[in-house]
């Protein structure tokens, strides 16, 4: 069975990029959304992306971004994929994919079974799908809220037209269960590997990748103090 591909999103420091690469993750996510504690300027994102080793897929997360915003990002930041995490319509997803010539991942928020119906429409136009927990009403962030949904909603589905990724409330302690319940082959995490909002923890990143890929993490020693 192929290895689980892991995406670590919301990287803000060069050390984060190196931790992601060393842990064996497949994707590194950079956030361009002003309300997020993980938001990056174009200049900072460029600096981080340039530290990524070959083979690590660099993903830009944007929220309802217009062409001018995407033009500015892509003019300076070497990226491999765009992640649309807002209310983009299937038409807009197709437009972005055609305009920029990069693979596009569309995030879809799930709270109950009714939300699954929209997945097929996006599966026709996106290269990948990100199945995430729907944010609560009034939330400032479309993702990265540390919330999960009932993964049993995805049980027994063989699945959609495109590769897909599971997100929403995953941690090193829960990701193996999520993989087992859903059969997903790709997982995404942001807040679940942080010591504080926007601050990634290299040990948690390594533990998450290890847990996702099915090998028990090495127990951490208790603090002797």
CATH of the domain at 105: 3.20.20.70
Question: At residue 8, what are phi and psi to the nearest 5 degrees?
Answer: -105, 115
Q: For residue 149, is it within any domain?
A: yes
- pLDDT tens digits for range 167-211: 988 999 999 988 888 888 999 999 999 999 999 999 999 999 999
Q: For residue 67, is it within any domain?
A: yes
Measured CA to CA, the distance from residue 81 to residue 85 in angstroms comes to 13
Q: Which residues contact 7 (CB under 8 A, 6 or more apart)?
A: 25, 26, 27, 28, 29, 59, 165, 186, 187, 188, 189
Q: For residue 20, is it within any domain?
A: yes
Q: For residue 39, is it within any domain?
A: yes
- pLDDT tens digits for range 1-16: 458 999 999 999 999 9
Measured CA to CA, the distance from residue 121 to residue 126 in angstroms comes to 9
Tokens of 193: 């590997």
Q: For residue 60, is it within any domain?
A: yes
Task: Kindly state the DSSP code that residue 216 receives in the 8-state scheme.
Answer: P
Q: Which residues contact 142 (CB under 8 A, 6 or more apart)?
A: 33, 63, 85, 86, 107, 109, 135
**Total domains, the chain:** 1
- pLDDT tens digits for range 110-162: 877 777 778 888 988 999 999 987 654 544 445 444 556 667 777 666 556 78
Confidence band of 64 (pLDDT split at 50, 70, 90): very high
Asked if residue 93 lies in contact with residue 71, where contact means CB atoms within 8 angstroms, the answer is no
The residue count for the chain:
225
What pLDDT was estimated at residue 82? Answer: 98
Q: Which domain holds residue 193?
A: 5-212
Q: For residue 41, is it within any domain?
A: yes
Q: For residue 223, is it within any domain?
A: no
Q: For residue 225, is it within any domain?
A: no
pTM of the model: 0.88
CA angle 196, 202, 204 (to 5 degrees): 70
């Amino acid at each position: 069975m192929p290895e689980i591909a892991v995406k670590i999103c919301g990287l803000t420091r060069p050390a984060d990029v190196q931790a992601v690469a060393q842990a064996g993750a497949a994707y590194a996510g950079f956030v361009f959304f002003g309300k997020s504690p993980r938001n990056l300027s174009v200049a900072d994102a460029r600096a981080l992306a340039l530290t990524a080793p070959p083979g690590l897929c660099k993903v830009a997360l944007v929220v309802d971004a217009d062409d001018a915003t995407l033009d500015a990002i892509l003019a300076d930041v070497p990226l491999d994929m765009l992640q649309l995490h807002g209310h983009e319509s299937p038409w807009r997803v197709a437009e972005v994919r055609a305009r920029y010539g990069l693979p596009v991942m569309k995030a879809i928020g799930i709270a109950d079974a009714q939300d699954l119906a929209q997945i097929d429409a996006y599966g026709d136009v996106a290269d990948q799908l990100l199945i995430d927990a729907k944010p609560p009403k009034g939330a400032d962030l479309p993702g990265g809220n540390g919330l999960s949904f009932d993964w049993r909603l995805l049980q027994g589905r063989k699945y959609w037209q495109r590769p897909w990724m599971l997100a929403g409330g995953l941690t090193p302690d829960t990701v193996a269960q999520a993989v087992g319940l859903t059969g997903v082959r790709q997982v995404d995490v942001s807040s679940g590997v942080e010591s504080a909002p926007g601050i990634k923890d290299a040990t948690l990143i390594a533990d998450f990748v290890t847990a996702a890929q099915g090998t028990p993490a090495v127990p951490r020693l208790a603090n002797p103090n």
